[in-house]
Structure 1
């Protein structure tokens, strides 16, 4: 991550940092990461340049702070147990949790993907987060695929890419019906794909 200036942890300081994060999120979503400037974030937040630089080294630092929040929520999903009465329901529940995070942070994820296409730092952060939930999914798939020729990590990577792709293509946080529809379809594809992988080849 980018170096973050040392900021006293006061309630006022936390409020100012939150205002700057919200402003950066808005500006990145509206202008795109490449076109966004610190001046735009400062104007949206209604603070001075000096205040911005008290909290962030540059606009990359502001994006890092937004990514931190999104990554924490994704990590929470990764660490949750896959508890459900049956495998199909467990898969649907996990996908729903991932889609919820992607929907709630769709603007941040979009900015993150844009930045990762041009800046190695953000590409590495994206890889680290993806690797975390791919490893978790692979861990869950391992027992089912143990007696097959299929690599759980490859299967997990493909399944995660499917969810990420669907969840980041125009998914809106306020469109509950669309979100539920995507979860149902993704869960059916996951479950059907896994059943196919457990069948004998030939």
Structure 2
């Protein structure tokens, strides 16, 4: 769903950012279905009509909130050095993703809710999944060419399956609350990922 062009004035940009921050807060508290534009505008401290200067609908602002979340979830951490081996790179990527998922579990719950009821957002979610799956598949193909991963594996399907395993496990634990005090989910997911691909343990 298209959104209006970004406002050029610093005041307009600040208002838009307040609306996005408020929208995330309200969506997390109320869920997508029960959120109204009036709730977002009130939380942002702006007039109801000002919302439409920046976004045409509740769906449009949610799409942007979610797109920012997706970018954050898979962003490279510039403070960490790039590990040397494929196994270490996979493990670090899983650690980063798991930590970000846990931090953003409330919004991830809404993302999954909206994907089941809004066709436009479902397409956006699927497009993002394809992008991240293809990124992982490219790494697997490279490791296959280097003789580190069996060529019998379909790289894209393997990437898809591993991503689904991680996402579903984190959803069960951090959205549905099936976690415990001794949470070793990251180590377990890392071990399963490495073993599934047959990567050497260095």
> Given that residues 84 and 90 in structure 1 are in contact (C-alpha distance below 8 angstroms), is that contact kept between their aligned partners in structure 2?
yes
Any idea what SS the aligned residue of 1:168 has?
helix
Q: Which runs of 5+ in 1 are unaligned?
A: none
CA distance in 2, matches of 1:124, 1:34: 18
What do residues 19-74 of structure 1 show as CA deviations (whole Å, max 9, x unaligned)? 11121111111111011111211222222111111111111111012122123234
For normalisation by structure 1, the TM-score amounts to 0.80
Picking from 150, 156, 170, the partner of 1:153 is 156
Aligned to 1:28: 27
For normalisation by structure 2, the TM-score amounts to 0.80
> Given that residues 137 and 156 in structure 1 are in contact (C-alpha distance below 8 angstroms), is that contact kept between their aligned partners in structure 2?
yes
Deviation, 1:110, is 2.0
Comparing 17-26 with 118-127, greater Cα deviation is found at 17-26
Aligned to 1:12: 11
Q: Between Structure 1 and Structure 2, how many residues are aligned? A: 188
In structure 2, the CA distance between the partners of 1:179 and 1:62, relative to structure 1 (3 Å rule), is farther
What do residues 108-157 of structure 1 show as CA deviations (whole Å, max 9, x unaligned)? 32222111101111111111111111111111112445654221111110
> Given that residues 7 and 54 in structure 1 are in contact (C-alpha distance below 8 angstroms), is that contact kept between their aligned partners in structure 2?
no
> Given that residues 42 and 48 in structure 2 are in contact (C-alpha distance below 8 angstroms), is that contact kept between their aligned partners in structure 1?
no
Any idea what SS the aligned residue of 1:85 has?
coil
Give the CA RMSD over aligned residues: 2.7
CA distance in 2, matches of 1:153, 1:184: 23
Q: Which runs of 5+ in 2 are unaligned?
A: none
> Given that residues 171 and 179 in structure 1 are in contact (C-alpha distance below 8 angstroms), is that contact kept between their aligned partners in structure 2?
no
